[in-house]
Structure 1
Amino acid sequence: MLRGVATVSFFAFDVDAAKRWYAELLGSDPYFEVPGYAEFRIGDYE
């Protein structure tokens, strides 16, 4: 059974807008953020 995905990378011209969109879609704020990068953790697999 699939428990999670280790890494998926998406690129966006407007990272702040992308962070808001993914946060709303996933129902969770980013796990880690630095300028130009955001990381979301989904599921129990790391």
Structure 2
Amino acid sequence: MKDVKFNPREESTYECFSCGTVIRATAPERCPKCGADMRNRQMPIE
């Protein structure tokens, strides 16, 4: 797997862990729909 360089000021695709909402943003802290944690889809889940 190739490492992805992360730039917090760059817009990326994020997915909500709870409801599955997908948005394009720059490092959102919470899901705009349900308030749960978001994950950057470019970063692998371990």
Q: What's the TM-score once normalised by structure 2's chain length?
A: 0.23
Q: Which has the higher helix share?
A: 1
Higher relative contact order (CA 8 A, sep 6+): 1
Q: Which has the larger radius of gyration?
A: 1
- The structure in which a higher percent of residues are strand is 2
